[in-house]
Chains A and B, each alone.
Chain A
């Protein structure tokens, strides 16, 4: 069972990324009748590295970012399920995103972080190699996932974005975290449910 560094401290995402944060009008601004000229259609994404690739997830889907915590392996689950971890008293599955995206496994380096994402009202931890920052993406800089990226990996991609000369893959959590994929192949309702007779 892989032992991981205990994650005692959870970093506040807003503090960490405020230098790179965009100037959006706050509610106070609106209340005082002061309209700052900003684009309201910019979407903030948390950008992170997995292997050599750069990925992004809309910030609204991320609850917190934590250092890697203890995980308890769960048998009969897919290889990308590292196990379960305990986040503030709630047990959540922790996924090795590198394995999930078929990029090997996440190196447990100093920069490794767990993104606690909320999807379909369930929390899941995503282990990534490094969190790069928060960026705002204008809709015109987003392109639909190109059809050429075929195969299962293509399903994980919701869009591609350009930022700072790099290509950022915006993940589709719906497919990345499809509940049906969590169980190991061959393990399902049919196994062990046959009973007698």
Chain B
């Protein structure tokens, strides 16, 4: 019984989804709780999620997950019934539960399954539970017809009291629906009413006139006036009445115009939408499947991708056959037919390839949710009140990139909390407002995705960074004086740099931004930083949408073909040999007033011993960029650009500096893809800080 039937991937992925949904609910609740009022539907959704998880875990014999879910379910039930106030400590426990669930799932089905301890959490959950029943919430509902009160479930009654407590007025909305269109009608009405307030319950009306119509009374709690609601709903057969309760009146007396006190509805046997029904419905769902999604191993997608590649080869062979068929006399009709089919096949093949790539795309929200939990946890640990604002969570990126992003982003967020955001007292004395803000933005820009992490903290003082770098021996005094402001700030990406002297639990031990930069570079991404002392910092990460397929510039040099990822190509220019000058033995060209080191692939790759320009008057230079650094690559020919599927070179050749991978360019020919970041670093290291972006000061010195 305690043993699961099999370490079920199905269980894991479904449970994971439920927990993610739960976590999202909590995050929303957390944000709303801070402003005071929260949407009870969210609490309901959280309750349902845990209820489903309990059922799911029970089904798969995950007894410990099930037990924890059971304990949580009771807590959430108390929360939604108002027996327990939704407080930050309560949310702490709920967030902790998310973490515990996830670590339980991580080891589920392994021998370590018992190592995740739930005792501490369980006791905290128990500690939360309300002491006994506090005997109801007082009789503040006098004035409301006992006939209504009599049919409300405990939850509905709680919501009713909540509405009264918040000083909302109560309304009875009487609606009549055609029997055939009732589903649509209720949904549309519900949507309209939700704009005004909370729908507490639906009661079937007793005074129904005819057989083919159903009449309902909807109990609504709202701040709006009767007239507003009536005009807002404005639907045939819908009438709105105000209900008066003695508790509601003292708060905000109803305007005199709303004198139309509703006739109380006659008692009804049972409410239409019962609490129990709702729970049962979700249980039934969990037996089926909670979501319509399928989780697929990335490796299996790669297999599909390779199969498509092979199909393309088969198609190429068929084209060859077509030629032979053409040569046969009297087979013109057949060959034409064959050609038509081949063309269709070609189109379908590219569609297939695109579809497989689309499957790899996932929304960034997956990572952002994780980060939101981190912000909350670390913020509370550091005693800083921090609000995280997320936009663009729906932006999609290749699954592989999203996975690899979570660590660097986590690090950046930690830096924001640890170094960026000031303490509450500091902020108040600066007149900044006690709550710190971190903004996490994602958006697509052309064929790249930009992710920005911005805080409104203390920012970075470039002078401090410079002094620190000198202290750490990263640069010497002389260098420090020659560096531009941006160059100094870029020093935070150098290994061994950390501004905070005390390493905290949260971040920092000198490994930090350099790791972030390396990780981002591995994803062919760029990272930039923009900071204003006292105002905050903004980190922008620019990433390709996918690593599996990229746009590449196909070039030829020394009779060999290479691909350059188009996302690192800034422009291509044409120069003549006379434009190439030499600075301390290194070749440079000038472009719009900036000096640009150039490199020859033939030379650094040793492709040809005595390389000559094809045409000294027309030399193509492809300008590539890595963050602020720009380098020109000399090429003989630009062969055009195309989408290419990147293939790894295997373990033995992975370490070749300057080569990022290989790709097929049709005809079974494999072409190498350049690793621009390494080439740029090589070029700059070799030419030893040839200024690519001279500051006015440097320009004056020169």
Contacts between the two chains (Cβ within 8 Å), count: 117
The docked-state distance in angstroms from the alpha carbon of A76 to that of B682 is 14
- CB < 8 Å neighbour of A192 from B307, B560, B651, B678: B678
The answer to whether A197 touches B491, judged by C-beta atoms less than 8 angstroms apart, is: yes
Q: Mark B481-501, 1 if CB is under 8 A from A, else 0.
A: 000000000010010000000
Q: A84 within 8 Å of B by Cβ?
A: yes
Residue positions of B touching A, CB distance < 8 A: 305-307, 309-310, 313, 317, 474-475, 479, 491, 494, 559-560, 605-607, 647-653, 655-659, 661-662, 664, 668-672, 678-679, 681-682, 684-685, 689
Residue of B nearest to A179 (CB): B652
Q: Mark A167-197, 1 if CB is under 8 A from B, else 0.
A: 0000000000101001100011101111111
Contacts A183-B655, A196-B689 given: A72-B669 contact, CB under 8 Å? yes
The answer to whether B685 touches A84, judged by C-beta atoms less than 8 angstroms apart, is: no
How many residues does chain A have at the interface if contact means C-beta atoms less than 8 Å apart?
Answer: 40
Q: A93 within 8 Å of B by Cβ?
A: yes
Instruction: Provide the residues of chain B in CB contact with A33, threshold 8 Å.
Output: none
The answer to whether B669 touches A81, judged by C-beta atoms less than 8 angstroms apart, is: no
- CB < 8 Å neighbour of B653 from A70, A93, A120, A193: A93
Q: A149 within 8 Å of B by Cβ?
A: no
Contacts A72-B672, A195-B681 given: A92-B659 contact, CB under 8 Å? no
Instruction: Provide the residues of chain A in CB contact with B306, threshold 8 Å.
Output: 88-90
The docked-state distance in angstroms from the alpha carbon of A118 to that of B291 is 40
Instruction: Provide the residues of chain B in CB contact with A20, threshold 8 Å.
Output: none
The docked-state distance in angstroms from the alpha carbon of A110 to that of B678 is 41
The answer to whether A75 touches B652, judged by C-beta atoms less than 8 angstroms apart, is: no
Instruction: Provide the residues of chain A in CB contact with B310, threshold 8 Å.
Output: 88-89
Contacts A70-B670, A84-B670 given: A187-B657 contact, CB under 8 Å? yes
The answer to whether A192 touches B668, judged by C-beta atoms less than 8 angstroms apart, is: no
6 smallest CB-CB distances across A and B, nearest first, come from A75-B605, A89-B309, A89-B306, A192-B682, A182-B652, A91-B647
Instruction: Provide the residues of chain A in CB contact with B494, threshold 8 Å.
Output: 196-197
**What would be 23 A-B contacts, judged by CB atoms less than 8 Å apart?**
A1-B559, A74-B649, A74-B672, A75-B605, A76-B657, A76-B659, A77-B653, A81-B653, A89-B310, A89-B313, A91-B647, A91-B648, A91-B650, A91-B662, A92-B650, A124-B650, A179-B655, A187-B657, A188-B655, A189-B657, A192-B679, A195-B684, A196-B494
The docked-state distance in angstroms from the alpha carbon of A92 to that of B651 is 10
Instruction: Provide the residues of chain B in CB contact with A69, threshold 8 Å.
Output: 668
The answer to whether B659 touches A122, judged by C-beta atoms less than 8 angstroms apart, is: no
Residue of A nearest to B681 (CB): A195
The docked-state distance in angstroms from the alpha carbon of A146 to that of B479 is 60
Instruction: Provide the residues of chain B in CB contact with A84, threshold 8 Å.
Output: 649, 653, 662, 670, 672
Instruction: Provide the residues of chain A in CB contact with B606, threshold 8 Å.
Output: 75-76
Q: How far is the CB of B496 from chain A (nearest CB, A)?
A: 10
Instruction: Provide the residues of chain A in CB contact with B658, threshold 8 Å.
Output: 75-76, 192
Instruction: Provide the residues of chain B in CB contact with A75, threshold 8 Å.
Output: 605-607, 656, 658-659, 672
The answer to whether A182 touches B670, judged by C-beta atoms less than 8 angstroms apart, is: no
